[in-house]
Amino acid sequence: MAAKQNIEESSEFSPRFNDNGLIPAIAQDAKTGQILMVGYMNKEALDLTIKTGYATYFSRSRKRLWKKGEESGHVQKVEQILVDCDQDCLVLKVAVDAGQCHTGHQSCFYRALKKDSGKELEFIAEKTYEPKETYKK
Amino acid sequence: MAAKQNIEESSEFSPRFNDNGLIPAIAQDAKTGQILMVGYMNKEALDLTIKTGYATYFSRSRKRLWKKGEESGHVQKVEQILVDCDQDCLVLKVAVDAGQCHTGHQSCFYRALKKDSGKELEFIAEKTYEPKETYKK
């Protein structure tokens, strides 16, 4: 309990990685507040993000470091890194250009659950770029 | 690949729970855009959230369902549920009163990494309520 309180009140950054060595990081548009995407970082990705000032994640599917925008050019310039009370989640306040999702949308969260439906989604955003022209493979 | 594309372009809500049966859910203030906290939901918690209109999470430490605010009164009224491209993360747009973090802060993200420091945090928010008066145990 003392340890828990210490993590919450401390000014020492001690991010807690999960059993897979990862911590979730939410990318939020610093200007608009829009949540753009959620990625995962291992220690190396977090260190690179801090050192370079650009968001780098660990791709769970490709099992490798992945600088956001390395292929699309849609990078995330990190303005601020926030950490939550128990230090097991990060928020990155980022400056971005258009299109942060590989589907062509500004945000990965382009669908919402329809009211009074537990099953059906509605699209709440238009595409901001054509992914076929951006991703060549 | 077809399955992946289907998940991304489908209007069927098919949330993907992780190996522990959980999906992360980001609570975002519907009015201000502030990210308040990140919790985890199992299927039952998500179903209850949709059914009741109030955020219910699965507490990983207490290993039980937990209606946000059940003790503090600081509930989250859900206005909209968003899902990301691969449907493994949710955003809840919520209406809240003061103090969403048990530490007394409005948001769990009350600390930021200091510029040019990989180690030191600065407190970027004041407490909005006194937790000792709210949590009796």
Span A49-86, pLDDT tens digits: 999 999 999 999 999 999 999 988 999 999 999 999 99
pLDDT at A137: 54
Are the beta carbons of A41 and A23 closer than 8 angstroms? yes
Helix, strand, or coil here: B71?
A: coil
Q: Tokens 């099992």 map to which residue? A: A63
For residue B84, list chain A residues with Cβ-Cβ distance below 8 A. Answer: 37-38, 108-109
Q: Which of B52, B46, B26, B24 is nearest to B37 (CA)?
A: B26
Report the residue of A5, A107, A113 to disrupt the B interface, i.e. the one with the largest count of B CBs within 10 Å: A113
Angle among Cα B62, B63, B64 to the nearest 5 degrees reads 95
Q: How many CB atoms lie within 10 A of CB B43?
A: 13
Mean pLDDT over the full length of chain B: 93
Res A7 pLDDT > 60 = yes
Instruction: Give the pairing of strands B64-67 and B56-59.
Output: antiparallel
Q: Average pLDDT in the B21-46 region?
A: 98
Q: How many CB atoms lie within 10 A of CB A41?
A: 24
Nearest to A101 among B47, B85, B113 (CB): B85
Determine the Cα–Cα distance for residues B26 and A84; give it in Å rounded to an integer.
Answer: 12
Q: B118 and A24: CB-CB below 8 Å?
A: no
pLDDT at B4: 75
Q: What are phi and psi of A52, to 5 degrees?
A: -90, -25
What is the predicted ipTM?
0.94
Res A111 pLDDT > 80 = yes
Res B110 pLDDT > 60 = yes
Please state the pTM of the whole predicted model: 0.94
B65 in reach of chain A (CB within 8 A): no
Nearest to B113 among A13, A119, A122 (CB): A13
Q: B28 and A13: CB-CB below 8 Å?
A: no
Nearest to B121 among A12, A37, A50 (CB): A12
For residue B125, list chain A residues with Cβ-Cβ distance below 8 A. Answer: none
CA distance B19 to chain A (A): 12
CA distance A63 to chain B (A): 17
pLDDT at B99: 85
In terms of Cβ atoms closer than 10 Å to its own Cβ (0-12, 13-18, 19+), residue A7 is middle
Q: How many CB atoms lie within 10 A of CB B113?
A: 21
Report the residue of A29, A85, A115 to disrupt the B interface, i.e. the one with the largest count of B CBs within 10 Å: A85
In the numeric block, which tokens belong to residue B27?
A: 């609570």
Q: Which residue of A has its CA nearest to B5?
A: A103
pLDDT at A124: 97
Q: Which residue of A has its CA nearest to B50?
A: A118
